Chain A
């Protein structure tokens, strides 16, 4: 086997998930996984369920991972991680263990192993990259697919307006295990995502992150809009950013301003069938009502929290911070005479 030099192109970041992977142009999952793995660093063991992330990062045996990485099967990533963590513990090592899976590998086929892993109290971070369908096999609906979305297995037509059922409330299911830390995040709010990954890495025991990761192919939006769309998911209230510790709600991202769901739905082809028909209009109202219900449930407009959607967006001169604290910083020098 050929040995490859580590990617040292960037002095400010490890690039644990580096270039040359085969994700689609503008992939939100590739972006999210790169952010998360760079925040954790290369000294960790990554276990990947079957799915887009696994396939596009290791295509034709060319790996984009610059850290130890294991491919499990579709259903058992959490079980494999449990074993790895138990073995490390037996050897007296504290190397962090991280599981990565799509929504299919989390909400559906992986749920049983995940539940067992949490119940047994393994010291593992489980990250779900939620792109709201089975993308790797060509956009089939999953239990994470939101209501009224077009997928290849929920096609809109005369009898249906896309998926009938609702998006599974997986964060509540996970939190109901009374486990130490479960949170939702998304790519648009990097400072928030960073804070949550860092917090999760400070906690011992099972931890869970659900990261909304737009998919330009499956959601049918312009590849340039992945971040914009994920921001709108939060600003409309459809995807609340929350933290739960031992089952209790401990943090939410307040909405500085609630945007109408239409702003989120418009740029996405998977909702296109809802515009311009009477039955579609009903579903639009339904989706708005679902957003309103989420907002009420989590008190997203009035909650007293450190973040709101305006503050968490703010850019600063000289960056919002890099990834690992040991990295060089670009400090400006004062000069005056």
Chain B
């Protein structure tokens, strides 16, 4: 209120300069690009902020709200969050995956237990088909809310593809098992060796449960189509990895004179297979139809799908790669495989975007190999699930994970399990559910003041130099001190980190600092915009006022 002109001597507080304002500052949390790109929608900024305070357990709890697999994911996720991290515009991205792993490992060593969010037990029962990351993530969210959950899996151990296909040097089985046990400890029932459609029928499932989540992954390898009938010395990448992970000897290799293996494919499975073959002591060549990383191949859409980091590691370990090469035929003398004839690939994908390489005549080359491993994709196996897979959410059936997602990442499966759980609970309660994470206000480095942050080098785990001597982990975790420092590198994009800038700079003493927060005293704020301009992390918005 502006007083009348017959003013008495006194404090300027009587005069509300806030009346002058035509725009006003508002404190508003944003959703940083790391979380925006994290397929599991982790609130990365929030758990890093807790780690900054060395509140390790609180940080782990915040992280596991969305992803109960930090030790696993910190090891195997290809971390798209880091490619998006705003810090790369200052020096280099925050080492998010190493921090994730650090928290996960700390939880394992200290035996931290997940807590239920809701103590009232629910009565409606949920069945989950598939104990991969999608199924387990969904079970975790439901069990935390008090729902009785039963997971069915055809395999002899839980973990899905993480258990059956990912090699030990990237993810030790014990780490995965401990994180899974912590999830199951919430009271989840797990039935192994139970294929739905075989050991249990579809209709039994429908009768006994109020909701069903199908997360069956992609367990059937795509076969190399060939007229020749011999399967001798030919294997799928998935079969190779499954056998290796079950601890079987892959005898084929040692008996060969040549010890030459060819792996066909340009994805992560091909690279995993190749790196395993090196560890078994053989030479290996990867035949890849696409281009290498870099040289704008990504923009052109011809870059190989495997992760760049994985390829670099593979090359360090002596894996040979040939690019833009397609298989013409397997070269045999009798049953015996002597190699693969390849030729230059002109176009990788056809007009419809399908993988359909065109090979050029006259460019043939011979790649010697005593064993050919085809890692050319895999698909969902819906056998025995024909009716369930056609049912809809309104009929109480949800689908998720690799079986239906376009992006085949473990974290995507975790995110899909989370969304399914939220949707299932809403439906069981008769509420509606909208997944709105990706509608949150976003923040780019352009809205931030990067000059307020000191440059600091990124901390990394150490690399095991004797890595080819077996299946030991290649990279170690961060040391305690490094973890604390690495957490501090987070710029806290869009979320106040209490730097005091707005408070120091307000010319009108209109920013009030409290023990918990900052508040704007709109009686006196003139709307100059300095606080918003000088906030390092872009937490403050200026809003126009009408008239």
Contact = CB atoms under 8 A, between A and B. Distances in A.
Q: Is B truly associated with A?
A: yes
Interface of A: 1-2, 4, 7, 9-13, 15, 17-23, 25-28, 30-31, 34-35, 57, 59-64, 187, 190, 216, 222-228, 310-311, 313-322, 328, 330, 332-337
The interface centre, meaning the residue of B54, B504, B508, B534 with most chain A CB atoms within 10 A of its CB, is B504
A28 B506 CA distance: 9
Interface stretch (B196-204, B286-294, B495-503): B495-503
B523 A19 contact: yes
Contact of A21 (B12, B454, B512, B515): B12
Contacts of A322: 500, 513
B451 A224 contact: no
Contacts of B521: 9, 19
A336 B57 contact: yes
Contacts of A187: 505
Interface in B28-53: 52-53
Interface stretch (B3-11, B181-189, B307-315, B365-373): B3-11
Given A224-B528, A317-B497, A334-B55, A4 B10 contact: yes
Interface stretch (B13-21, B138-146, B432-440): B13-21
Contacts of B453: 314-315
Nearest to B500: A319
B12 A320 contact: no
B446 interface: no
B536 A315 contact: yes
A25 B11 contact: no
B344 interface: no
Given A317-B492, A337-B110, 9 more contacts: A1-B10, A25-B20, A26-B530, A31-B507, A61-B8, A62-B7, A62-B9, A62-B14, A322-B500
A86 B536 CA distance: 46
Given A10-B512, A335-B58, A320 B9 contact: no
B279 interface: no
A15 B529 CA distance: 20
Contacts of A321: 500
B533 interface: yes
Contact of A17 (B57, B509, B512): B509
Contacts of A330: 498, 515
Main secondary structure of the interface of A (DSSP, over half): loop
A238 B219 CA distance: 68
Contacts of A224: 528-530, 532-533, 542
A323 to B, nearest CB: 9
Interface in B453-481: 453-455
B507 A26 contact: yes
Given A61-B9, A337-B110, A22 B452 contact: no
Contacts of B75: none
B512 A9 contact: yes
A336 B526 contact: no
B506 A20 contact: no
14 contacts: A7-B11, A18-B509, A21-B17, A27-B528, A59-B12, A63-B12, A187-B505, A227-B505, A314-B453, A315-B452, A322-B500, A330-B515, A332-B55, A337-B57
Given A20-B12, A62-B10, A317-B488, A228 B533 contact: yes
Contacts of A62: 7, 9-12, 14-15
B53 A334 contact: yes
Given A223-B529, A224-B532, A1 B9 contact: yes
A310 B454 contact: yes
B109 to A, nearest CB: 12
A15 B509 contact: yes
Contact of A2 (B8, B16, B508): B8
A87 B69 CA distance: 73
B78 interface: no
B112 interface: yes
Given A19-B17, A25-B20, A317-B52, A4 B499 contact: no
A27 B529 CA distance: 11
A12 B513 contact: yes
The interface centre, meaning the residue of B455, B523, B526 with most chain A CB atoms within 10 A of its CB, is B526
B383 interface: no
A26 B21 CA distance: 11
B513 A4 contact: no
The interface centre, meaning the residue of B11, B17, B451, B515 with most chain A CB atoms within 10 A of its CB, is B11
Given A25-B20, A60-B7, A18 B12 contact: yes
A335 B55 contact: yes
Contact of B499 (A10, A320, A333): A320
Contacts of B492: 317
The interface centre, meaning the residue of A10, A11, A334 with most chain B CB atoms within 10 A of its CB, is A10
A4 B504 CA distance: 25
A30 B507 CA distance: 5
Contacts of B56: 336
B9 A2 contact: yes
Given A10-B509, A11-B514, A314 B454 contact: yes
Given A61-B7, A337-B57, A13 B513 contact: yes
Contacts of A18: 11-13, 509
Nearest to B111: A337
A309 to B, nearest CB: 9
Contacts of A227: 505, 530, 533-534
Contacts of A26: 507, 526, 528-530
The interface centre, meaning the residue of A1, A62, A310, A330 with most chain B CB atoms within 10 A of its CB, is A62
A240 to B, nearest CB: 19
B15 to A, nearest CB: 5
A63 B514 CA distance: 25
B71 interface: no
B216 interface: no
A222 B7 contact: no
A171 to B, nearest CB: 24
Interface in B411-462: 451-455
B200 to A, nearest CB: 40
B68 interface: no
Contacts of B12: 18-22, 57, 59, 62-64
Contacts of A20: 11-17, 524
B449 to A, nearest CB: 9
B15 A315 contact: no
B501 to A, nearest CB: 6
Contact of A11 (B455, B510, B515): B515
A34 B11 contact: no
A24 B425 CA distance: 55
A140 B497 CA distance: 42
A14 to B, nearest CB: 10
Interface in B267-297: none
A152 B339 CA distance: 87
Nearest to A317: B497
B527 interface: yes
Given A18-B12, A21-B12, A310-B451, A10 B513 contact: yes
B112 A337 contact: yes
A216 B524 CA distance: 18
Nearest to B15: A20
Contacts of B110: 337
A314 B55 CA distance: 24
Nearest to B18: A19
The 10 A-B residue pairs with the shortest CB-CB distance, nearest first, are A224-B529, A20-B12, A26-B528, A19-B524, A319-B500, A4-B11, A315-B499, A64-B12, A25-B526, A31-B507
